[in-house]
Amino acid sequence: MVWRAQVLTLLPELFPGPLGHSLSGRALQAGTWSIDARSIRDYGLGRHRAVDDTPAGGGPGMVLRVDVLAAALDAARVAEPDLPAIALTPRGRPLTQSRVRALAAGPGVALVCGRFEGFDERLFQARAVEEVSIGDYVLSGGELAAMVLIDACVRLLPGVMGAQASGTEESHEAGLLEYPHYTRPQQFEGLDIPPVLLSGDHARIAAWRAAQAVVDTKARRPDLIRPASAPTGEKP
């Protein structure tokens, strides 16, 4: 089954962009996944294909019209009726690795990219559209956020990553940050690779990595720590 990415945007020429390179690019060429970037402006109003209007109640900027967005989304659903619709917006719920994994296991996703001041809120009341944020900051539009979400999903598709363990031993897969990595040279400017990683004892290495993941998560992202007993492991 080909995983499909459908993108509704005012800038379809941005796609596939970086998604056409490296892992995702090779998978795209191999037919593991596909992308269909559609212009929202095709459904704009009047001679100038207007897609936005001034905010109700006043204020700066422009707001994407709900009638234009709904028409674009309805047409997209005719082509791909089984794809869940997601709008990229800083007002959405944070994107998590568990949500990415669920999306990657499905048929694909239809992404709606915002611009200007954002979406008319009635889009989410009139259509089944999930609101997702990739972080607590604001971008110029949803296109880069859409690329982030697609890349996160595509790398989990079967055969895209060389080693299957690469997708399971990562930050956020177990609710923790990933353990730190090292490689040659063994010593750099007085800094050594932790001796346990050179021991060849896979049980000790696994215990050290599990413990270090907890230590690093507590130090860097304490908000991710759930009430549970932390695994004990070997010190470096």
**Tens of pLDDT, residues 143-167:** 999 999 999 999 999 999 976 545 5
Instruction: Look at the pTM and tell me if it is higher than 0.85.
Output: yes
Give domain 3-154's CATH superfamily.
Answer: SPOUT methyltransferase, trefoil knot domain (3.40.1280.10)
What local confidence, expressed as pLDDT, does residue 225 receive?
85
pLDDT of residue 165: 47
> For the chain, which residues score pLDDT lower than 50?
165, 228-232
The confidence score (pLDDT) of residue 229 equals: 41
- Picking from 40, 2, 16, the residue whose alpha carbon sits closest to that of residue 144 is 16
CA 119 to chain CA centroid, Å, is: 20
184 token code pair: 């040659």
pLDDT at residue 175 in the model: 83
Q: Would you say 51 and 112 are in contact if contact means Cβ atoms under 8 Å apart? A: no
The CA angle 226-149-2, to the nearest 5 degrees, is 115
What pLDDT sits at residue 158?
96
Residue 88: per-residue pLDDT = 98
pLDDT score for 166 = 53
**Domain range annotation of the chain:** 3-154, 169-224
Domain 169-224 has CATH 1.10.8.10: no
Query: Got the DSSP string for 116-161?
Result: TT-B-THHHHHS-EEEEESSSS--SSSHHHHHHHHHHHHTTSTTTS
At 25, which amino acid appears? G
pLDDT tens-digit series, residues 223-234: 988 654 444 455
